[in-house]
Chain A
Amino acid sequence: MKVWLLSDYDNRKHQAFRGLIYRSTSGASGDIKIEVKSRTNLWRSLFAHLRDARNNPLPDVLELPLNWTRRFASLGVLADLKPHVRYLAEKAYLPAVMAELCRHGDSAIYSVPWWQKSPALYYREKVLKDFCSDPAAGLSTWKGFRRILDRLAETSRFHNHRLLSIPGSSGPVSLGEVLPHIWGRRGGLYSDDFTRATFTRDETIGGIQDWLDLAIDGYVRLFSQDRFDNGYLPDEDCVFMLSSRRPSYLGGKMKLLPYPGCAGGGGLLLVNNLAVSSTSLCQDEAFSLVSWLSDGLNAGIFADYFGVFPCCTAAFESRISRDRESDVLRRIYSSPEVLPNFSFYPSAELLLQNLLWKLSLKISEGKFLQEDLRRELIKAQGEADYLLTLD
């Protein structure tokens, strides 16, 4: 059996998965070949299959972002899991997750929620105490966060820590970095009724601009060679960290707060699901494996290893309640919003990603002008509007 797993910014995730598979006692493991694909490669591989199925076979099981489900189900790539995956109907997930997965009222379910994460802010209390007496209030908005960041930058009192860490940053400003921020500003790629693109809405522009400002002001170094030469520095070796992971190794070194702008909840929830390909020749085994992996216990073990949360509510609750900052976690995960599961949405995300790439190149070359962002967004919005007409 072949499994495609989405890569993460370090190797903890796929090590955890391989460990889980090897420890499997369910009999579902069998002979499993794992291929770890980047998000870009996964997308390309799925379309390569559609173009030339014979030379680009699909795996039996694949991991994919929840909001890709509708797209690939409509292209006939995914199998209906509802009749086959054990306990799918009975499993409880966060209401926002199932609402998005079943948004279109289909009787079929083409992927199973597996693990989830939500961006949050970590800060080093010791360093911050001279700059902010009430971090929960002072860091509740992006403006407040930037104010404190700027004040810290003027001093050198970081106690040898980096000022800001963005684990997973991979060179350019990325979709993953910008989307939570757009959400924090109540912006989005489309209107609430999904009849028009809103790339040029003030909230969306503001969300992207805020993040670009981090790069322009030097808090984030684009295409930096640091990682290449020095390896990945410990995520937590910093004053501030913006991360969706909740790694256990932090101990009490850094404290947790909701993402700036989402102090009362309503932040972005990123969910990854498991699916079985419609062309799998061992679908029964594939369904068994998906059932086993998405089971609360196994998903919990897996998620814990690399600092995310299982989707099954029982396992999720258990994980949160064990955490010493469970009250903050509950705020972070209250009323979350999941990326929309429409067939056009992943294509729109790609439009935004390509735009961010272009702007990142300009910023890194010192050629970025303020009007560049609005101009690129206007062009992208036209294309995003057109995507609505395709299906």
Chain B
Amino acid sequence: MKKSQGNIFINDNTGGYASFIRDALSRLAAGFPVDGASYYEYDSRYKLLHLRVCNAGGFSYDHEDHIRPEPGTPVFRALEKMEPVSATLPCGIHLYYPFLFECDEYSAPRFGRSVSVSRIGLIRLERRSGHNDFTSEEIENISTFMENHLVNYYRYEYASLRNTHEKNLKAVTSLAEVFAKSLNKQSRMEAADEKGKSQKSDDSLRAILSGVQMHFGFDRVRLFLIDKNEDMDILKGELSVDITGKVKDLSLEQIPLEPGFHRFADIILKRNSEAFLDEYKDCVVYVPLVVGGETIGLMIGDNFTSQQPIEKQELALLRSLGTQMALAVHNIRLFKKVQAMAKYDSLTRLPLRSYFDERFQEEICRSIRYGHKLSFMFVDIDLFKIINDTYSHQTGDEVLRAIANTINKTIRQKIDFPGRFGGDEMVIFLPQSSTEEAKGLAERLHRAIRDIHIDTGSEREIKLSVSIGISTCPDDAETMETLKNNADLALYWVKEHGRGKTMVYSELPPDYAEERALHEARKKPGER
């Protein structure tokens, strides 16, 4: 009879808990005269023994079976008393060795709670019928072996818990760094790269979500933020990151914050941040993001694909990180808003000159590089000063808004790019558009603007119209300033010839540019 094998400590990087058990069973089966060995875990809640690993013929392999031990049976007695029990059964001789592993030593004061692990296991050693029963000496030797094994088992579990603790600390540290970086970048509004472009706030959101996905191992993490509108608050999708690291734009997902409309809305409206644990259900967790008592959004981690339940320990960690996350996301949003204010006109919500010029220049370079046409349009509201003076500035603002909205609705979405150059002047650049195509858009704009009705509060009706001047790259010019000047010239022609129509630079009379230049030169300084 072989004695116990001594320490069989397995480095916890050899393949996990299952590998450790397999190896232990192999050594047990090799060290004692048995025909087989099996490892079970006992679920005291449902009183079930779950077979996990078998060893036969010196080879360990996964096996699944689920048994409810019946009262009075040898295995039931072994589990009840937590003592080895030997039994002679029709199929052979069994020795059941139950063991209890408990570890309260691992405490995580940072999270305000200690983590305990409790596991009941059972080793079953098997001999075929006809062989000798397990003698008391054998049982004692096996017990000694198992006690040694359990020492290593404790070490393994402790190492595993320590690794989990370190992993969680690392998650807290790394994620806190990600959050802090996001805060720092937004507060300094730094220009990150050599071209002078600022770090996009979306990159920071992406970093936050990717960090959460990576550290918690969710199949998917999604971020929704509350967008407050005059009519109704909306929960708008931002980004999602999946287990492969793929980032997806969720901006098309918009959920009205109305009770009963959607699960997410109910969570935002009916629950506070303290109650997110109540929403825990197997493989999805909802983390409301709260700043200063106000919920600004919702982060959702799910394991729908793998159907793997989320560990309760993960919830505690998420909860503690939730506040930092919320603050970081909040600051990113503030930065986005400030950026938007710098880029967009508050009245018409059209891009302002500096942002328009930036995008226009990019597009000119692109069109020259790839040999595409690019058209530019000046859109001037006819007699705007008179409207402003006759009615009110409020009516004037309404006119500007209405025309800006009409432009936004008429242009090609996400392709054509409008802007406001101040006063009553608006501009549009149209990528991959010829002069003819630009003229077509201009015509549609004229028709749409003619149909605008403005409530002046009186019986008098304002008939709106615009004058449009067009130039096209590369036909009319290849630089931004020249394209603008040429379109401006065409616009002047329209203004001089009755307004309310379109002119393209290339169709201007040959001497018009020269005449215009002379006319400008003769003007007194105050008239220009």
The finding on whether chains A and B are genuine partners in a shared complex, rather than unrelated, reads: yes
* Contact A227 B67, beta carbon cutoff 8 Å: yes
Q: Could you say which residues of chain B place their CB within 8 Å of the CB of A7?
A: 61-64
* Contact A14 B59, beta carbon cutoff 8 Å: yes
Contact with A along B90-104 (1 / 0, CB 8 A): 111000000000000
Task: Tell me the smallest distance from the CB of B341 to a CB of chain A, in Å.
Answer: 36
Within B284-308, which residues are at the interface with A (CB < 8 Å)?
304-308
* Contact B307 A231, beta carbon cutoff 8 Å: no
* Contact A225 B304, beta carbon cutoff 8 Å: no
* Contact B89 A51, beta carbon cutoff 8 Å: no
Q: Could you say which residues of chain B place their CB within 8 Å of the CB of A40?
A: 64
Partner of A36, one of B16, B61, B69, B73: B61
Given A227-B67, A231-B91, A231-B92, are A350 and B62 also a contact pair (CB < 8 Å)?
no
* Contact A38 B46, beta carbon cutoff 8 Å: no
Q: Could you say which residues of chain B place their CB within 8 Å of the CB of A55?
A: 13
* Contact B65 A227, beta carbon cutoff 8 Å: yes
Q: Could you say which residues of chain B place their CB within 8 Å of the CB of A387?
A: 304-305
Give the contact stretch, choosing among B49-57, B351-359, B450-458. B49-57
Q: Could you say which residues of chain A place their CB within 8 Å of the CB of B69?
A: 225, 228
A142 beta carbon closer than 8 Å to chain B: no
Task: Tell me the smallest distance from the CB of A386 to a CB of chain B, in Å.
Answer: 7
Q: Could you say which residues of chain A place their CB within 8 Å of the CB of B307?
A: 347, 350-351, 354
Contact with A along B59-86 (1 / 0, CB 8 A): 1011111111110010100000000000
Consensus secondary structure, chain A interface:
helix
Q: Could you say which of A39, A229, A230 has the most chain B C-beta atoms within 10 Å of its C-beta?
A: A229
* Chain B residue with the shortest CB-CB distance to A2: B15
Task: Tell me the smallest distance from the CB of B405 to a CB of chain A, in Å.
Answer: 33
Given A43-B306, A228-B67, are A223 and B62 also a contact pair (CB < 8 Å)?
no
Task: Tell me the smallest distance from the CB of B215 to a CB of chain A, in Å.
Answer: 10
Task: Tell me the smallest distance from the CB of B383 to a CB of chain A, in Å.
Answer: 53
A229 to B126, CA, bound (A): 11
A346 to B63, CA, bound (A): 20
A351 to B308, CA, bound (A): 11
Within A62-88, which residues are at the interface with B (CB < 8 Å)?
71, 75-76
Within A18-53, which residues are at the interface with B (CB < 8 Å)?
18, 35-41, 43-44, 47-48, 50-52
Task: Tell me the smallest distance from the CB of A261 to a CB of chain B, in Å.
Answer: 27
Q: Could you say which residues of chain A place their CB within 8 Å of the CB of B308?
A: 44, 47
Q: Could you say which residues of chain A place their CB within 8 Å of the CB of B48?
A: 171, 223
A390 beta carbon closer than 8 Å to chain B: yes
Tally of chain A residues near chain B (CB < 8 A): 46
* Contact A223 B68, beta carbon cutoff 8 Å: yes
* Chain B residue with the shortest CB-CB distance to A221: B68
B243 beta carbon closer than 8 Å to chain A: yes
A170 beta carbon closer than 8 Å to chain B: yes
Q: Could you say which residues of chain A place their CB within 8 Å of the CB of B56?
A: 11
* Contact A230 B67, beta carbon cutoff 8 Å: no
* Contact A52 B244, beta carbon cutoff 8 Å: no
A115 to B273, CA, bound (A): 52
Given A44-B308, A47-B243, A47-B308, are A225 and B68 also a contact pair (CB < 8 Å)?
yes
A318 beta carbon closer than 8 Å to chain B: no
Contact with A along B31-61 (1 / 0, CB 8 A): 0000000000000001011000010110101
Task: Tell me the smallest distance from the CB of A250 to a CB of chain B, in Å.
Answer: 21
Q: Could you say which residues of chain B place their CB within 8 Å of the CB of A364?
A: 68
A38 to B63, CA, bound (A): 6
* Contact B91 A229, beta carbon cutoff 8 Å: yes
A296 to B159, CA, bound (A): 47
* Chain B residue with the shortest CB-CB distance to A4: B62
Q: Could you say which residues of chain A place their CB within 8 Å of the CB of B18?
A: 41
Task: Tell me the smallest distance from the CB of B93 to a CB of chain A, in Å.
Answer: 12
A39 to B73, CA, bound (A): 30
B256 beta carbon closer than 8 Å to chain A: no
* Contact A347 B68, beta carbon cutoff 8 Å: no
A224 beta carbon closer than 8 Å to chain B: yes
A361 beta carbon closer than 8 Å to chain B: yes
B322 beta carbon closer than 8 Å to chain A: no
Q: Could you say which residues of chain B place their CB within 8 Å of the CB of A50?
A: 243-244
Contact with B along A334-358 (1 / 0, CB 8 A): 0000000000100100110010000
A390 to B70, CA, bound (A): 44
Q: Could you say which residues of chain B place their CB within 8 Å of the CB of A44?
A: 306, 308
Q: Could you say which residues of chain A place their CB within 8 Å of the CB of B54?
A: 11
* Contact A75 B70, beta carbon cutoff 8 Å: no
* Chain B residue with the shortest CB-CB distance to A174: B64
A18 to B56, CA, bound (A): 13
A258 beta carbon closer than 8 Å to chain B: no
A172 to B57, CA, bound (A): 28
Task: Tell me the smallest distance from the CB of B160 to a CB of chain A, in Å.
Answer: 11
* Contact A230 B46, beta carbon cutoff 8 Å: no
Given A7-B62, A38-B64, A386-B304, are A230 and B90 also a contact pair (CB < 8 Å)?
yes
A170 to B219, CA, bound (A): 29
* Contact B217 A52, beta carbon cutoff 8 Å: yes
* Contact B59 A230, beta carbon cutoff 8 Å: no
Within A161-193, which residues are at the interface with B (CB < 8 Å)?
170-172
A47 to B217, CA, bound (A): 9
Task: Tell me the smallest distance from the CB of A253 to a CB of chain B, in Å.
Answer: 21
* Contact B243 A170, beta carbon cutoff 8 Å: no
* Contact B68 A18, beta carbon cutoff 8 Å: no
Task: Tell me the smallest distance from the CB of A197 to a CB of chain B, in Å.
Answer: 13
A48 to B19, CA, bound (A): 14
* Contact B61 A361, beta carbon cutoff 8 Å: no
* Contact A229 B73, beta carbon cutoff 8 Å: yes
Task: Tell me the smallest distance from the CB of B1 to a CB of chain A, in Å.
Answer: 24
A296 to B13, CA, bound (A): 38
* Contact A18 B59, beta carbon cutoff 8 Å: yes
A15 beta carbon closer than 8 Å to chain B: yes
Partner of B66, one of A39, A43, A75, A171: A171
Q: Can you add 20 more A-B contacts, CB < 8 Å, to A36-B59, A76-B244, A230-B90?
A: A7-B62, A15-B57, A41-B18, A41-B62, A44-B306, A48-B16, A52-B217, A55-B13, A75-B244, A171-B65, A172-B66, A224-B68, A228-B49, A228-B69, A229-B87, A229-B91, A230-B91, A347-B306, A350-B307, A390-B304
When A and B form their complex, which 10 residue pairs have the shortest distance between CB atoms, in order from nearest? Answer: A171-B66, A36-B61, A231-B91, A51-B217, A223-B68, A350-B307, A38-B62, A47-B306, A228-B67, A170-B65
**Sample (17) of A-B pairs whose CB atoms are under 8 Å apart:** A7-B64, A36-B62, A37-B62, A38-B63, A41-B62, A47-B219, A47-B243, A47-B308, A52-B217, A55-B13, A76-B244, A223-B66, A225-B69, A225-B73, A228-B75, A229-B75, A231-B92
